[in-house]
Amino acid sequence: MKRPTLEAVAARAGVSRATASRVVNGSETVHAKIRDAVLRAVDELGYVPNSSARSLVTRRTGAIALVVSEPPSAEDPLFSVIVRAVGRELEHAGKQVVLMLASTPAGYDRVERYVAGGHVDGVILLSTHGADPLPAALARTHVPVIAHGRPVATARLPYCDCDNVGGARAAARHLLERGRRRVANIAGPPDMPAGRDRLAGYREVLSAADRRSLIAMGDFTRESGAAAMRQLLLDGPDLDAVFAATDLMAIGALHTLRRAGRRVPDDVAVVGFDDIDEARYTDPPLTTVRTPVAAVARAIVARLLVPEPFAEPTILPADLIVRDSS
């Protein structure tokens, strides 16, 4: 069956092709009666606009690339939450989401060529590391790019994030205010801005309180949190609190503490970061710092669709959620 054309719509409505085109493309300069006649003709004929032809004229595709510059961990629940939140906001804005994963030089090159080729109107970049070439590469495409989270320092991109430093300060301060004397930290990867910022917030509070830091490194996963907690118990057997830079690492720490015979929170208080769903169901329920995922997603999409040159980053507060683990 032959696909209805815009010319057929114009003929059915009794208007010129140019007028029919303006109505189909959402112009508000057409008289209401004429617009109604064109829209009736569209419905009667089953006309579907040719988005490819329209993009050639408008230079707009209606698509936004969501680029992940590392393979997400299979156990990372926050990744899917972020993708869903950003996807919902883009859908509300009438945009199509193109999810792209890149973790190799060939993958980086493929993403850069796809974006530079005009296939998307903008890019949202997730999860960058210190040596990640994508921020600088995407900045060269002259397509609007915004990062979810503070990007690496090699490329100056606009970004939206939660207050990782402030959230970590709140966690460390909470533990000290609860009377804990030896507060340890399970830090995230030092090549990731979120890992560095959360460590910085912890260190600031302990330094101001004239307390000595006790730190073990993790990689944001449950297993690394369990291993880091084992190391902390060896390095500081007198510790009575631990702040982990993610909930998954805090959950790993809870497992190690239980196996070591340490009661939570009686012997050791535990605080995480992110407030993933699982944090409410640990034993005991986990005190954590809530990442405002939905609010960050809204801010990212709003800034991408209405870009502001040289705009300051959008940093949203991260709130402490107190539960039974502290």
pLDDT digits (tens, 9 = 90+) for 78-108: 788 888 898 888 888 888 888 888 878 888 8
304 is a domain residue: no
277 is a domain residue: yes
Shared-domain flag, residues 18 and 132: no
Q: What is the pLDDT of residues 223-281, one digit of tens each?
A: 999 999 999 999 999 999 999 999 999 999 999 999 999 999 999 999 999 999 999 99
314 is a domain residue: no
Q: State which of 142, 157, 172 marks the end of a domain.
A: 157
Kindly tell me the sign of the dihedral angle through the C-alpha atoms of 186, 191, 197, 200.
positive
Shared-domain flag, residues 152 and 67: yes
- Kindly report the CA angle at 56 between 55 and 61, in degrees rounded to 5? 25
Question: Per the structure, how many domains does the chain have?
Answer: 3
Residue whose entry in the numeric block shows the structure tokens 């101001």? 208
322 is a domain residue: no
Q: What is the pLDDT of residues 176-193, one digit of tens each?
A: 999 999 999 999 998 888
132 is a domain residue: yes
Question: Which residues, 6 or more positions from 30, have their beta carbon under 8 angstroms from its beta carbon?
Answer: 19, 22, 23, 38
Shared-domain flag, residues 282 and 260: yes
DSSP notation for 223-239: HHHHHHHHHHHHH-TT-
Q: At what angle do helices 6-13 and 32-45 cross, to 10 degrees?
A: 120
Of residues 230 and 19, which shows the higher confidence score? 230
Range 25-50 average pLDDT: 79
196 is a domain residue: yes
**In the predicted model, is pLDDT for residue 53 greater than 50?**
no
Shared-domain flag, residues 226 and 265: yes
82 is a domain residue: yes
C-alpha 67/C-alpha 5 separation (Å) is 36
CATH number at residue 269: 3.40.50.2300
pLDDT at 61: 75
Shared-domain flag, residues 135 and 96: yes
Q: State which of 105, 125, 157 marks the end of a domain.
A: 157
54 is a domain residue: no
Q: What is the pLDDT of residues 109-129, one digit of tens each?
A: 888 888 888 889 899 988 766
Q: Is the peptide bond before 284 cis (omega within 30 degrees of 0)?
A: yes
DSSP 8-state assignment for residue 279: G
Domain that holds residue 220: 164-290
Short-list 227, 248, 240, 229, CA closest to 291: 248
Distances (CA, A) of 149 to 38, 130, 228, 300: 45, 13, 25, 10
Shared-domain flag, residues 153 and 170: no
Kindly tell me the sign of the dihedral angle through the C-alpha atoms of 172, 175, 176, 180.
negative
Q: Residues 180, 171: contact at Cβ < 8 Å? A: no
pLDDT at 234: 97
What is the layout of strands, in order, in the sheet containing 122-126?
Answer: 96-101, 63-68, 122-126, 145-148, 159-162, 314-316
pLDDT at 260: 97
Q: How many CB atoms lie within 10 A of CB 305?
A: 17
Task: Give the rounded percent of residues in the chain with a pLDDT score beyond 90.
Answer: 48
Shared-domain flag, residues 172 and 257: yes
Categorize the per-residue pLDDT at 55 as very low, low, confident or very high, splitting at 50, 70 and 90: very low
Shared-domain flag, residues 183 and 276: yes
DSSP notation for 74-134: TT-HHHHHHHHHHHHHHHHTT-EEEEEE--SHHHHHHHHHHHHTT--SEEEEE---TT--H
Categorize the per-residue pLDDT at 56 as very low, low, confident or very high, splitting at 50, 70 and 90: very low
C-alpha 269/C-alpha 205 separation (Å) is 17
C-alpha 326/C-alpha 80 separation (Å) is 28
Shared-domain flag, residues 272 and 178: yes
Shared-domain flag, residues 172 and 267: yes
pLDDT at 113: 87
CATH number at residue 42: 1.10.260.40
Q: How many CB atoms lie within 10 A of CB 218?
A: 28
Shared-domain flag, residues 243 and 176: yes
Shared-domain flag, residues 138 and 208: no
